[in-house]
């Protein structure tokens, strides 16, 4: 049936013939009865086609979000049946309009309130399916959840979305730090400048492995260096990345998205030459900066580009936090020692760095719970 008109039509052969009124009524009532039956089945939680219904006891208890998430998908808006909104705020399934509902294997979305992913870049939407590693504030693994679930601000505010991340700081042999500008297609923190590479270890065996100096996070970093910047493992491999410490922080991106991460800080010093294989869906620009360049960026929120033009810049909150805390400049001053002695130099100078080099500037939009921890020690980095 199309629309709300009174006529029912049946396509027979190549033509369309109007049924007699009695047959039309019989067909209509039969269709309504079938629809009612299907909806009653859906109300009892009829499983999706091709997916066996799992008993509640078999669902992972460590997962931070409702087991009902297993029956729905935030990505369904890409290929769903939609229907207009009604005057009341909740659908029959109890969800607010705009949410995606799983009913009898058919996803139904209300047109009045689009999904948070509506209009987003399809490649970036697909990446939101990746499973992040959920942890507690002691960085102990508690489960896993999609990048979508862990970055929704409403989930972050409810708690349980804390996950592992990494931040790579790659320097050339002149001591300059490579920065990247995140592409406008990015769902979180688009068009912002940040350190060389930032992303997440995924919930897979090779990236869950901790071992000596957190090899899982270093493997994940190499995967993303290749994906974002075209830096292959032949140029930078896990052994080239030095684990320094971990940062715990929380910050919003906008009214929908944010971050709550235990962020592994990884250093590397390499000469890479021209980065002509960057992924434009991830990175729009790159630039090397000196210590003085970065101090100027923090003071003026502008950057002098390679062309000589001066442009306003916005920084990611984790990068700004690490820079303004004084830790980055302290590590930068010790770069030669760090590279030569691996992480031992950090263990020798960590306390002095925290006590002597820290700045006390408040950071906007960053929760005052940033901590740095290494060797089991927790200390505040930035206070608001």
The conformation of residue 212, written as its DSSP 8-state character, comes to: T
Which pLDDT belongs to residue 172?
96
The domains of the chain, with CATH numbers, are 122-353 (3.90.79.10)
Which pLDDT belongs to residue 39?
59
CA 188 – CA 63 distance, rounded (Å)? 23
Of 321, 338, 332, which is closest to residue 372 (Cα–Cα)? 321
CA 56 – CA 60 distance, rounded (Å)? 9
Q: Is 291 exposed, middle or buried (0-12, 13-18, 19+ CB in 10 A)?
A: middle
Q: Is the whole model's pTM more than 0.85, yes or no?
A: no
The conformation of residue 275, written as its DSSP 8-state character, comes to: -
Give the catalytic positions in this structure. Answer: 198, 261
pLDDT, block means (10 residues), the chain with 384 residues: 42 48 67 66 40 36 42 47 35 42 42 75 96 95 97 94 97 97 96 97 96 91 97 94 92 92 95 91 96 96 90 94 92 89 49 34 39 36 31
CA 197 – CA 367 distance, rounded (Å)? 22
């Amino acid at each position: 049936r199309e629309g709300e008109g009174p006529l029912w039509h049946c396509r027979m052969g190549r033509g369309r013939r109007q049924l007699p009124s009695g047959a039309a009524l019989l067909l209509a009532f039969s269709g309504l009865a079938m629809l009612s039956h299907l909806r009653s089945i859906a109300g009892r939680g009829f499983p999706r086609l091709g997916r066996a219904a799992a008993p509640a006891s078999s669902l992972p208890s460590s997962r931070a979000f409702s087991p009902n998430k297993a029956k729905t998908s935030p990505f369904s808006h890409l290929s769903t049946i939609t229907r207009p909104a009604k005057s009341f705020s909740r659908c029959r399934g109890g969800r607010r309009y705009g949410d995606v509902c799983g009913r009898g294997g058919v996803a139904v979305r209300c047109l009045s309130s689009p999904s948070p992913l509506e209009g987003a870049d399809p490649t970036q939407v697909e990446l939101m399916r990746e499973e992040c590693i959920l942890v507690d504030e002691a960085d102990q693994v508690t489960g896993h959840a999609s990048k979508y679930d862990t970055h929704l601000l409403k989930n972050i505010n409810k708690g349980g979305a804390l996950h592992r991340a990494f931040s790579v700081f790659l320097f050339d042999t002149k001591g300059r730090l490579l920065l990247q500008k995140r592409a406008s297609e990015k769902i979180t923190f688009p068009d912002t400048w940040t350190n060389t590479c930032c992303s997440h270890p995924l919930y897979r065996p090779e990236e869950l492995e901790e071992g000596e100096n957190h090899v899982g996070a270093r493997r994940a970093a190499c995967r993303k260096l290749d994906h974002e910047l075209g830096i292959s493992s032949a140029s930078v491999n896990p052994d080239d990345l030095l684990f320094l410490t971990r940062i715990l922080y929380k910050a919003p991106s906008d009214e929908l998205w944010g971050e709550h991460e235990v962020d592994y800080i990884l250093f590397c010093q390499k000469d890479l030459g021209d980065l002509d294989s960057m992924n434009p869906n991830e990175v729009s620009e790159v630039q090397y900066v000196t210590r003085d360049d970065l101090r100027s960026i923090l003071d003026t929120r502008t950057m002098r580009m390679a062309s000589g033009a001066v442009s306003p810049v916005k920084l990611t909150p984790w990068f700004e936090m690490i820079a303004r805390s004084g830790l980055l400049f302290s590590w930068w001053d010790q770069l030669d020692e760090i590279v030569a002695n691996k992480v031992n130099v950090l263990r020798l100078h960590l306390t002095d760095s925290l006590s002597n080099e820290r700045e006390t500037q408040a950071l906007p939009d960053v929760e005052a719970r940033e901590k740095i921890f290494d060797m089991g020690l927790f200390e505040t980095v930035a206070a608001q």
